[in-house]
Amino acid sequence: MTAVIDRLALIGVGLIGGSIARAAREYGAAREIVATARSAETRKRVAELGIADRVVETNAEAARDADLVIVCIPVGASGPVAAEIAGSLKQGAIVSDVGSVKAAVLNDMAPHIPNGVHLIPAHPVAGTENSGPDSGFAELFVNRWCILTPPVGADAAAVEKLGAFWSALGANVEVMTAEHHDMVLAITSHLPHLIAYTIVGTAEEFSTVSRSEVLKFSAGGFRDFTRIAASDPTMWRDVFLHNKDAVLEMLAQFSEDLAKLTRAMRRGDGETLFDHFTRTRAIRRGIVQIGQDSAAPDFGRPHQAKPGAPLPRPYAADDE
């Protein structure tokens, strides 16, 4: 099988960049992988892990003669990085990214991209709560969606090539405008993260309930929020700063809906609560049916088999 991409350059090797590197090699999607990262420590670790063919020191050097450059960094850094690589991009190269916001990335990068180079932003909707090059794995994108947001007038062959690359990594590919992407992600990802970050912080502010109680009794629901509130702070700061308008719009609707449920609770209106809770159950079913979440109860969390038996690894107290 011929690789989809001859030379792949990865700028930034965290959870996503590290997973692309592993997947591209494992599934034969790129012939050669050149990687770089801002910190010397990360570059050293990437070299040790051996997940790239070459690790170089600068963004410009990584991008030189690459057929596909994927920028895997917090979206706030997209503009400056585009400026740094502009001079070493070869004609016909594709420049893409993995950011969770697309209109801002397009705006920030486009002015720096030379004629004859194809800027096609993209967003693989996949991830875990972990960060850094060690947290990546080849299977991360399998059966997940990757959204491409080519600007108006983008080269169709380049869009197709980038789509083929993501398909080779196991992803399903969808194309939409950057603006629409930002609305969709505001509700499916950004607002949920904002809410989770908020409530996990709220839990620490009561004098009547101690932190140790919050941790001990978190299995009642709270712990599910903490997973996404453990995501990379820099990445998420940039998401909220760059998709402000869409998130604020979704937040207004959320606040209205929360007020409606609160009113029902205050008035003892059980019927409104019951009807709402029945409706949301159906949405969960839909997500499981299309394979975007595990059907196993409790996300398939392992349950210890016997009282008093040693804790299985995923529950071991010395983890982390």
Considering only residues 282 to 311 of the shown chain, the ones binding a second copy according to CB under 8 A are 283-308, 311
- Binding segment for a second copy (CB under 8 A), chosen from 63-71, 79-87, 155-163, 176-184, is 176-184
Q: How far is the CB of 177 from a second copy (least distance, A)?
A: 11
140 binds a second copy, rule: CB under 8 A: yes
Q: Is 57 in the site for a second copy (CB under 8 A)?
A: no
3-state helix, strand, coil in the chain (%, to 5): 55, 10, 35
- From the CB of 22, what's the least distance to a second copy, in Å? 12
Q: Say if residue 199 is exposed, middle or buried (CB neighbours under 10 Å; 0-12, 13-18, 19+).
A: middle
CA 212 distance to own-chain centroid: 30
47 binds a second copy (CB under 8 A): no
With contact defined as beta carbons under 8 Å apart, do 52 and 25 qualify?
no
Rg (alpha carbons) of the chain, rounded to whole number: 22
Task: Give the x-and-dash track for 187-226 against a second copy (CB under 8 A).
Answer: xxxxxxxxxxxxxxxxxxxx-xx-x-xxxxxxxxxxxxxx
231 binds a second copy (CB under 8 A): yes
- Does 73 contact a second copy by CB under 8 A? no
What secondary structure does DSSP assign to 213-259, as a single string? HHHHTGGGTHHHHHHHTTS-HHHHHHHHHHSHHHHHHHHHHHHHHHH
- Asked whether the beta carbons of 173 and 125 are under 8 A apart, the reply is no
Contact positions with a second copy (CB under 8 A) in 253-282:
253-254, 257-258, 261-262, 265-266, 268, 270, 273-274, 276-281
Counting contacts by CB under 8 A, is residue 152 touching a second copy?
A: no
